[in-house]
Amino acid sequence: MIAAILGGETQLFHELIRPHERSVYLMALSYMKNEADAEDVAQEAFVRAYRNLASFRAESKFSTWLISITLNEARTRLRRKALVPMDSIDTPPDEDQHVSPALLRDWREIPSEAAERGEIRKLLQEAIACLPDIYREVFLLRDVEEMNINETAAALNISIPSVKVRLHRARMMLQKQLAPQLKAATQQSKRRWFPWS
Amino acid sequence: MVIDCKHVWNFISDYIDGTLSEEAKTDVQKHLAHCEICSAILDSTRNVIILTADDHVFELPVGFSERLHARIDLELKEVSG
């Protein structure tokens, strides 16, 4: 399809990018922290991808190429605005630090329908937003966008062992924060739904 | 090999992804069989991963697609014109 677009069938670009709208927007949102700026960055990333389509190398995946354009665009904007320190570039968190999980005695599975509820959704979004950049970007690509390890490493331009270590830390950090919160939230709502129980 | 809780915590992510060696996987499973704390950590981590992967957690803003494709149209016209 890319060859056809470069050959003049430019309208096909709409179809090419459709499957990637969400992942590009998510990566932009994870850096910009607000919907309006994230949308702006996402649009700009797609426009840049179009302008630079001729430089896309067939040996990489289009999705990982798009993500790296998006990250560049988001980082450039943040640097320009100097909104937040770039902890992923300037001060990498200590990669050797250990993350201890939240200790619980039992865990009652929370069904995935719970993610539709506003309060649960907010807890999940906030916990992911609180992760340091280098852990959040790996977690979003691997566990939210479900990219594989190789694709994630390529999109972020990091090694495969780094993807594994960062993903593990991200998951442990999220478990530590979310497990007690989710437990409390679902217990509370159960009481609300069934006041007699 | 008998492993303690802290070892198991280090293996949780690989255990979930199925990327542990057979030997390490057996060690973890033996530990999980009698440790309810590590079992709860594993279950809650797995549960958190499933919940965050739900499409409802991160939704595109209303009209995002329409605005994006309108912008792309502008770009296509600009380049071809």
- Tell me the pLDDT tens digit for each residue of A5-38: 999 899 999 999 999 999 999 999 999 989 999 9
- Cβ contacts (< 8 Å) between B39 and chain A: which residues? 107
In which band, very low, low, confident or very high, does the pLDDT at A197 lie, cut at 50, 70 and 90? very low
Interface contact A135, partner B, CB < 8 A: no
H or E element, residue A156: helix A149-156
pLDDT tens string A115-165: 888 899 999 999 999 999 999 999 999 999 999 999 999 999 999 999 999
> Both tokens of residue A13?
């670009």
Q: B64-80 and A21-32 helices cross at what angle (nearest 10)?
A: 100
pLDDT tens string B9-41: 999 999 999 999 999 999 999 999 999 999 999
Q: List every span in chain A annotated with CATH 1.10.10.10.
A: 112-193
Q: Which residues of A, range 58-97, sit inside 8 Å of B by Cβ?
A: none
H or E element, residue B72: helix B64-80
Interface contact A43, partner B, CB < 8 A: yes
Interface contact A6, partner B, CB < 8 A: no
> Both tokens of residue A91?
């001060």
Q: Which fold has domain A112-193?
A: Arc Repressor Mutant, subunit A (1.10.10)
- Cβ contacts (< 8 Å) between B7 and chain A: which residues? none
CATH architecture of A2-81: Orthogonal Bundle (1.10)
pLDDT tens string B45-62: 999 999 999 988 888 999
Q: Residue A193: helix, strand or coil by DSSP? A: helix
Angle formed at CA A69 by CA A64 and CA A71, multiple of 5 degrees: 95
pLDDT of residue B79 exceeding 80, the answer is: no
Q: List every span in chain A annotated with CATH 1.10.1740.10.
A: 2-81
Interface confidence, given as ipTM, is 0.90
Q: Inter-chain contact A146–B53, Cβ cutoff 8 Å?
A: yes
pLDDT for residue A118:
87
Distance (Å, whole) CA A4 – CA A16: 11
Question: Both ends of chain A: CA-CA distance in Å?
Answer: 59
Cβ atoms of A115 and A124 within 8 Å: the answer is yes
- Cβ contacts (< 8 Å) between B9 and chain A: which residues? 100-101, 172
